[in-house]
Chain A
Amino acid sequence: MSELTLFLVRIAYLAILWIFVLSAISVIRSDMFGARVPTPAAPGKQPRAPKPPPSPRRGQPTHVAVVQGVNTGITADLAQAPVLIGRGNDAAIRLDDDYVSTRHARIVSSGGQWYVEDLGSTNGTYLGSQRITQPVPIGLGSQVRVGKTIVELRK
């Protein structure tokens, strides 16, 4: 095996190593920018007029109310779920509480059950004394604490 061949083998191997490194980086790059936006409606499905929301059954909560804190009394209709709670302008329940984040938490429904989900708030969302880390099911009268405010589901 001549000296030159070995030199070429060495250079070729280093080239392969770096091609691998650069391809991995380019995959990461495309992963960052190449995500697709989900289409709002599945193709082929006829756009229908949105059905009126089903009339609430008995015993089901219909709105969220602030029961304690500076904004006591304001409510939001659960028909417009998900209900966003926060200090931001786009929140369905806008709170003037300094301990609440812009997009603090939201109340969503899944399979007839209502859940509260923390949206990465600074001070956390509490159910009782427990800080929630994942969507937690709530029912009528469950008191959810965001900042110094308490909200609950009402009929």
Chain B
Amino acid sequence: MASNSALMGFVHRRRRGAELFLLVLALVVGIGAYAAVGLGVDGEVPTNLIGYGGWLTILVVAAHVAVRIVAPYADPVLLPVVAALNGLGLAVIHRLDLAKDTALASQQLTWMTLGVVLFVGTLIILPDHRLLARFTYTSGLTAIVLLILPMLPGIGRTINGAKIWIALGPFSFQPGEVAKVLLVITFAGYLVVHRDALALAGRRVVFIDLPRGRDLGPILMMWAVSLGILVLQRDLGSSLLFFGLFLVMLYVATERPGWLVVGGLLFFGGATAAFKLFSHVQSRVDIWLDPFADPDGSGYQLVQALYGFAWGGMVGRGLGEGMPEKVPYAESDFILAAIGEELGLTAVMAILLLYGLVVERALRAALISRDGFGKLVATGLAAVFALQIFVVIGGVTRLIPLTGLTTPFLSYGGSSLVANWVIIAILLRISDQARRPLPDLTEAEDDPDEQATQIVKVVPS
């Protein structure tokens, strides 16, 4: 607790220099990958390396300067880690572009620019994360509208069987990516007020206090919404993500393991029913259990990805030396297969570790945050990240059935990239607030005329 830490004389440092140092290394990771792709594919350093590297540097420096000015105490590790992941993702998408003759990398760079602009914008317009608590129900309503939008005729669009897109002129956008950030805010705002009621114990079954029956309303509603997404939009990944997110936040807010039991039972009930009733869920499970049953048909994508991982081995084939374009959608859902093939297990482990660091830093911000709302938002965002990574990487490596979700920051996909940059901005804001030293309330009053006016931060509610 921060109040205890202030008593122990523990003060966080700003660490902006360390962040700059890590950002330089992150740029080396991103631009180095781009150069290595050029060397591997064409045998020479790409001619536009200066322009590409310069643009990436401008974006990263802009983000760093913004953090330095408006969130000086923010966590020093988050921004460099996501910058490195984003840079590496861009290079791998560029490598797939060269193989497939597409131009997705330049589009992704445009989306990254928009992402960094929104990152800086979020940090500037949000001086205190507690302001978000005012929008608890507004953001919940907006999230529901956003989730319904793709089902409306006219702007909704169905791509690969999933109705999760809307068309805005030439662009298509996944509103679900924005909705997940809004839902975190809604859940946090709701739970911080109602957690005492939800934490009341009901019947006790084998060491675990189950929640009371009358408190089951919110979790049943969330369960219904998740199943609705699964049935109406055929989006297995988001459905899992939203329910898992609510369950994690409910558990963290109430400290009652009973909720995990209830949620787990609901999940297995829903999953079994979905498996029995829907052919698209059934086919996913069949592919997972035996991808080699139909290696040229339904199992083709997963089989090629597994071949890619195997062929890559420990250190990979080298960027530009493999055949990652064999895997359908290698640039979005299956980008980890492309990395596994060309850079090997060594790089896959590094990426998993980087994702682990993002989640760890988010949970750290939650631990040291001084207010319940900030704690819950940071935990929720960490859970979004962790669940998404587990679901997509588990699916690609055939640990769990495949569900369509993007790999945060690596995959091609504008909506996901932009939403993730905003998530990082909110996390930095929470950690900035949490690490900022408390104004000293105990100091004896000196002559009031000698003292500078002390500004006490009060959040209007």
Please measure, in the bound complex, the distance between the C-alpha atom of A6 and the C-alpha atom of B41, giving whole angstroms.
10
The stretch of B76-84, B259-267, B393-401 that contacts the partner chain: B76-84
Chain A min CB distance to B190 (Å): 14
B48 at the interface (CB under 8 A from A): no
Closest to B354 in A: A21
A58 contact set on B, CB distance < 8 A: none
Q: Are the C-beta atoms of A108 and B319 separated by less than 8 Å?
A: no
The stretch of A25-33, A63-71, A92-100, A141-149 that contacts the partner chain: A25-33
Q: Are the C-beta atoms of A50 and B4 separated by less than 8 Å?
A: no
Residue-wise, chain B 433-460 has the 8 Å CB interface mask toward A (1 for contact) of 0000101011011100000001010010
Which residues between 29 and 44 of chain B lie within 8 Å of chain A, taking CB atoms? 29, 32-33, 36, 39-40, 43-44
Contact of A13 among B1, B26, B343, B437 (CB under 8 A): B343
A1 contact set on B, CB distance < 8 A: 39, 43-44
Chain A min CB distance to B168 (Å): 36
- Given A106-B3, A134-B370, A134-B371, is A14 in contact with B15 using a C-beta cutoff of 8 Å? no
Which residues between 1 and 55 of chain A lie within 8 Å of chain B, taking CB atoms? 1, 5-7, 9-11, 13-14, 16-21, 23-25, 27-28, 30-31, 34-38, 50-51, 53-54
A53 contact set on B, CB distance < 8 A: 444
B321 at the interface (CB under 8 A from A): yes
Contact of B11 among A30, A38, A82 (CB under 8 A): A38
**Interface hub of A19, A23, A53 (most chain B Cβ within 10 A):** A23
Please measure, in the bound complex, the distance between the C-alpha atom of A124 and the C-alpha atom of B197, giving whole angstroms.
13
A6 contact set on B, CB distance < 8 A: 39-40, 318, 321
Q: Are the C-beta atoms of A36 and B13 separated by less than 8 Å?
A: yes
Q: Are the C-beta atoms of A124 and B76 separated by less than 8 Å?
A: no
Size class of the contact patch on chain A = 35 or more
Q: Are the C-beta atoms of A16 and B32 separated by less than 8 Å?
A: yes
Which residues between 53 and 85 of chain A lie within 8 Å of chain B, taking CB atoms? 53-54, 81-82
Which residues between 302 and 331 of chain B lie within 8 Å of chain A, taking CB atoms? 315-316, 318-319, 321
Closest to A108 in B: B441
Please measure, in the bound complex, the distance between the C-alpha atom of A17 and the C-alpha atom of B373, giving whole angstroms.
36
Q: Are the C-beta atoms of B371 and A31 separated by less than 8 Å?
A: no
Closest to B317 in A: A10
Q: Are the C-beta atoms of A34 and B456 separated by less than 8 Å?
A: no
The stretch of B217-225, B288-296, B345-353, B422-430 that contacts the partner chain: B345-353
B344 at the interface (CB under 8 A from A): yes
B278 at the interface (CB under 8 A from A): no
Closest to B18 in A: A27
A111 contact set on B, CB distance < 8 A: 454, 456
B11 contact set on A, CB distance < 8 A: 35-38
Contact of A20 among B15, B84, B130, B360 (CB under 8 A): B84
Residue-wise, chain A 102-120 has the 8 Å CB interface mask toward B (1 for contact) of 0100101111000101011
- Given A21-B353, A36-B13, is A50 in contact with B347 using a C-beta cutoff of 8 Å? no
Q: Are the C-beta atoms of A35 and B346 separated by less than 8 Å?
A: no
Please measure, in the bound complex, the distance between the C-alpha atom of A7 and the C-alpha atom of B39, giving whole angstroms.
11
B192 at the interface (CB under 8 A from A): yes
Chain A min CB distance to B229 (Å): 31
B198 at the interface (CB under 8 A from A): no
Tally B residues with Cβ within 8 Å of A: 61
**Interface hub of A7, A54, A133 (most chain B Cβ within 10 A):** A133
Chain A min CB distance to B453 (Å): 9
Q: Are the C-beta atoms of A20 and B36 separated by less than 8 Å?
A: no
Please measure, in the bound complex, the distance between the C-alpha atom of A17 and the C-alpha atom of B339, giving whole angstroms.
13
Q: Are the C-beta atoms of B9 and A37 separated by less than 8 Å?
A: yes
Which residues between 13 and 55 of chain B lie within 8 Å of chain A, taking CB atoms? 13, 15, 18, 21-22, 25-26, 28-29, 32-33, 36, 39-40, 43-44
Please measure, in the bound complex, the distance between the C-alpha atom of A34 and the C-alpha atom of B360, giving whole angstroms.
18
Please measure, in the bound complex, the distance between the C-alpha atom of A14 and the C-alpha atom of B346, giving whole angstroms.
7
- Given A9-B39, A111-B454, is A103 in contact with B315 using a C-beta cutoff of 8 Å? no
Closest to A130 in B: B193
Q: Are the C-beta atoms of B3 and A13 separated by less than 8 Å?
A: no
Q: Are the C-beta atoms of B441 and A23 separated by less than 8 Å?
A: no
Closest to A134 in B: B371
Please measure, in the bound complex, the distance between the C-alpha atom of A10 and the C-alpha atom of B36, giving whole angstroms.
8
B357 at the interface (CB under 8 A from A): yes
A155 at the interface (CB under 8 A from B): no
- Given A106-B3, A120-B3, is A20 in contact with B25 using a C-beta cutoff of 8 Å? yes
Chain B min CB distance to A7 (Å): 7
A34 contact set on B, CB distance < 8 A: 13
Q: Are the C-beta atoms of B77 and A28 separated by less than 8 Å?
A: yes
Q: Are the C-beta atoms of A103 and B4 separated by less than 8 Å?
A: yes
Q: Are the C-beta atoms of B316 and A35 separated by less than 8 Å?
A: no
Closest to A17 in B: B350
Q: Can you give 18 contacting A-B residue pairs, CB < 8 Å?
A: A1-B44, A6-B40, A6-B321, A9-B40, A13-B32, A17-B346, A19-B25, A20-B25, A20-B26, A21-B354, A34-B13, A35-B11, A35-B13, A37-B9, A54-B445, A110-B439, A119-B4, A134-B371
Instruction: Give the interface of A toward B (CB within 8 A).
Output: 1, 5-7, 9-11, 13-14, 16-21, 23-25, 27-28, 30-31, 34-38, 50-51, 53-54, 81-82, 103, 106, 108-111, 115, 117, 119-120, 124, 131, 133-134
Across the A-B interface, give the 10 residue pairs with the lowest CB-CB distance, nearest first: A1-B43, A10-B318, A133-B372, A120-B1, A37-B9, A108-B441, A20-B25, A27-B18, A17-B350, A134-B371
Question: Beyond the given A13-B343, A108-B441, A133-B372, could you list 20 further A-B residue pairs with CB under 8 A, ordered by the A residue number?
Answer: A1-B44, A9-B318, A10-B318, A10-B319, A13-B32, A13-B36, A14-B315, A14-B344, A16-B25, A19-B25, A21-B353, A24-B81, A27-B15, A31-B76, A34-B13, A37-B11, A50-B444, A110-B441, A117-B3, A134-B130
